[in-house]
C-alpha cells in the first residue's frame, strides 16, 4: 500500500507498525510530551474514538466521503473508515459437512458441536454486538449455555485460530476475520467460511493528527486510502472496502458494525462479561 502511494506521489512514507493498543499509547504519550512526530494514524475504531476524545484529531472534509458507506464517516469527520474487518464463522471442510452447518447461534447448542468450537480470547466487541442484537438477556443466556454445555476452545490471536481450523485442531471457529480465512483458503487449506446472523464487523480507518508535522502529506495519504486507488488495492487484498463504488462478496448493508462510542463507554463491562462467560466459562 505504501509503495503504491510513494510511486504515485513521490512522497516517502515512514511507518511504525504495532498492535492498536500500542499505537494508541505511543500517539497519546508523544502528544502529551509535546513531540509532534505523528502525521496520520491507521487503526481500528476504538483507538480512533479514544484519540478523538483526547482532542488529538483533525476534522477533514473530503469529496471521497460521499462514496463511502454512511457508517464510515461520523458526523465529526475526525476519522474515516477505509475498510471493514468482518467476523466470519470458519470450519474445516474435512471434518464438517456444509449440510451440517448451523443456521443460527442457537443451533450451536446442539450436542453435535461439543468439543468442536473455538473462539478468540479478546473478542468482547463482537460478543457485545451479537448479544445486544439478540437481546441482552437472551444473548447472555445463550452464550452461558453454550460455554457450559458444549465448551469453547479459547485461543489468543485470530490468525492462530484460523490456522487451527485449517489444521483441524479446532473444527469450527466463531470469530475469524474474513481476509484471513480467504488467504488460507487461497493457499489450499481445507477451510471454508460463512456468516451467522447477525454478521458483525468493525471499522478500520485513518485519522489526521491535529498537530501533524506534515499535514499536507497526511491529507494526501488519507485521500489516497479512501479514494479509488486505495479502495481497489484493499479489495484486491480480500479486505472489505467501505467505498460503495467497489463490489464486495459480503453485503455491507447487512453487516452489524460495531459502535466504537458504545465500546469506549461500556467496554469494561463487556470485557468482564466476556471473561466471565466465554473465557472462564469454557474452562
Quick one: 2-83+201-250 is in which CATH superfamily? Periplasmic binding protein-like II (3.40.190.10)
Cell numbers placing 118:
473455538
pLDDT at 252: 84
What CA–CA distance (Å, rounded) separates 173 from 156? 12
**Is domain 85-199+267-279 in CATH 3.40.190.10, yes or no?**
yes
User: How many CB atoms are closer than 10 A to CB 175?
Assistant: 23
Cell of 149: 454445555
Q: Domain map of the chain by residue range?
A: 2-83+201-250, 85-199+267-279
If you search the block for the grid coordinates 484460523, which residue do you land on? 162
Dihedral sign for Cα atoms in the order 143, 147, 153, 155: positive
User: What is the separation of C-alpha 81 from the centre of its chain, rounded to a whole number of angstroms?
Assistant: 11
CB of 72 closer than 8 Å to CB of 243: no
Q: Any bridge partners for residue 120, and if so which? A: 155
Q: What is the SS3 string spanning the chain?
A: CHHHHHHHHCCCCCCCCCCHHHHHHHHHHHHHCCCCCCCEEEEEHHHHHHHHHCCCEECCCCHHHHHECHHHCCCCCCCEEEEEEEEEEEEECCCCCHHHCCCCHHHHHCHHHCCCEEEECCCHHHHHHHHHHHCHHHHHHHHHHHHHHCCCEEECCHHHHHHHHHHCCCCEEEEEEHHHHHHHHHCCCCEEEECCCCCEEEEEEEEEECCCCCHHHHHHHHHHHHCHHHHHHHHHCCCEECECCCCCCCCHHHCEECCHHHHHHHHHHHHHHHHHHHHCCCC
The pLDDT, as a whole number, for residue 216 is: 96
Q: CB 181: neighbour CB atoms within 10 A?
A: 26
Residue 216 corresponds to which cell in the numbers above?
499536507
Residues of the chain with pLDDT under 50: none
Cα–Cα distance between 84 and 181 in angstroms, integer? Answer: 15
> pTM, whole model, 2 decimals?
0.90
Residue 8 neighbours by CB distance under 10 Å: 11
pLDDT digits (tens, 9 = 90+) for 49-77: 999 999 999 999 999 999 999 999 999 99
Give the count of alpha carbons within 13 A of 27, CB side only.
31
Does the fold of domain 85-199+267-279 match that of domain 2-83+201-250? Answer: yes
Amino acid at each position: 500500500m505504501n509503495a503504491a502511494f510513494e510511486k504515485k506521489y513521490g512522497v516517502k512514507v515512514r511507518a511504525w507498525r504495532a498492535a492498536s493498543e500500542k499505537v494508541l499509547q505511543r500517539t497519546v504519550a508523544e502528544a502529551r510530551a509535546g513531540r509532534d512526530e505523528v502525521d496520520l494514524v491507521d487503526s481500528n475504531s476504538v483507538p480512533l474514538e479514544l484519540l478523538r476524545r483526547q482532542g488529538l484529531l483533525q476534522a477533514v472534509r473530503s469529496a471521497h466521503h460521499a462514496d463511502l458507506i454512511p457508517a464510515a464517516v461520523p458526523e465529526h469527520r475526525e476519522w474515516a473508515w477505509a475498510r471493514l474487518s468482518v467476523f466470519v464463522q470458519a470450519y474445516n471442510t474435512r471434518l464438517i459437512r456444509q449440510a451440517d452447518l448451523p443456521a443460527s447461534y442457537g443451533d450451536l447448542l446442539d450436542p453435535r458441536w461439543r468439543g468442536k468450537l473455538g473462539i478468540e480470547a479478546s473478542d468482547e466487541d463482537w460478543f457485545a454486538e451479537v448479544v445486544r442484537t439478540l437481546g441482552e438477556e437472551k444473548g447472555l443466556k445463550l452464550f452461558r449455555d453454550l460455554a457450559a454445555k458444549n465448551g469453547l476452545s479459547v485461543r489468543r490471536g485470530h490468525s492462530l485460530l484460523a490456522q487451527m481450523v485449517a489444521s483441524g485442531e479446532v473444527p469450527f471457529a466463531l470469530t475469524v476475520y474474513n481476509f484471513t480465512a480467504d488467504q488460507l483458503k487461497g493457499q489450499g487449506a481445507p477451510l471454508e467460511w460463512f456468516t451467522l446472523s447477525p454478521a458483525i464487523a468493525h471499522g478500520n480507518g485513518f485519522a489526521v493528527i491535529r498537530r501533524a508535522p506534515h499535514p499536507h502529506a497526511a491529507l494526501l495519504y488519507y485521500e489516497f486510502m479512501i479514494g479509488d486507488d486505495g479502495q481497489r488495492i484493499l479489495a484486491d487484498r480480500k479486505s472489505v472496502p467501505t467505498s460503495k463504488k467497489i463490489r464486495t462478496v459480503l453485503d455491507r448493508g447487512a453487516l452489524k458494525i460495531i459502535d466504537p462510542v458504545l465500546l469506549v463507554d461500556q467496554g469494561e463491562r463487556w470485557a468482564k462479561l466476556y471473561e466471565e462467560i466465554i473465557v472462564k466459562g469454557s474452562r
